[in-house]
């Protein structure tokens, strides 16, 4: 079945460090891909999305490119801030049927000053 795999956390980085959170997926078709972020004590917020191969989603300095050849959607940010400390979820949603959204297990990021 369809699935999403994320790198294991927690990830701890110093402020201004480069961030990469790996995400790979398995799907029988061509899904839309998403990154959601969950700040402490809050619900999930959509961070960015991509709906087709080679699309790049970007928001708040974060970027991710839909790579069909490697079935990946890695999240990157050039310089993290303490306020980026949160849990990040990669997700996919098929576009050809009314199918549920599939989330990865989440990656906890802590940014220290």
Instruction: State the residues that interact with other proteins by CB under 8 A.
Output: 32, 34, 36, 42-46, 49, 89, 91, 93, 95, 98-106
d(CA 8, CA 4): 12
Q: Which is nearer to other proteins, 13 or 94 (CB)?
A: 94
Token code pair at residue 98: 């009314």
Q: How far is the CB of 102 from other proteins (least distance, A)?
A: 8
Q: Is the dihedral of CA 46, 109, 59, 40 positive or negative?
A: positive
Q: Which is nearer to other proteins, 25 or 104 (CB)?
A: 104
Percent helix, strand and coil across the chain, each to the nearest 5: 5, 50, 45
Q: Which is nearer to other proteins, 2 or 63 (CB)?
A: 2
């Amino acid at each position: 079945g369809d699935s999403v795999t994320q790198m294991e956390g927690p990830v701890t980085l110093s402020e201004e460090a480069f961030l990469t959170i790996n995400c790979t997926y398995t799907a029988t078709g061509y899904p839309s891909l998403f990154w959601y972020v969950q700040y402490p004590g809050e619900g999930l917020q959509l961070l960015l999305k991509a709906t087709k191969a080679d699309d790049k989603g970007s928001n708040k300095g974060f970027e991710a490119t839909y790579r069909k050849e490697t079935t990946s959607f890695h999240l990157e940010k050039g310089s993290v801030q303490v306020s980026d400390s949160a849990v990040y979820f990669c997700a996919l949603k098929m576009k050809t049927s009314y199918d549920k959204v599939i989330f990865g297990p989440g990656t906890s990021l802590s940014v220290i000053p």
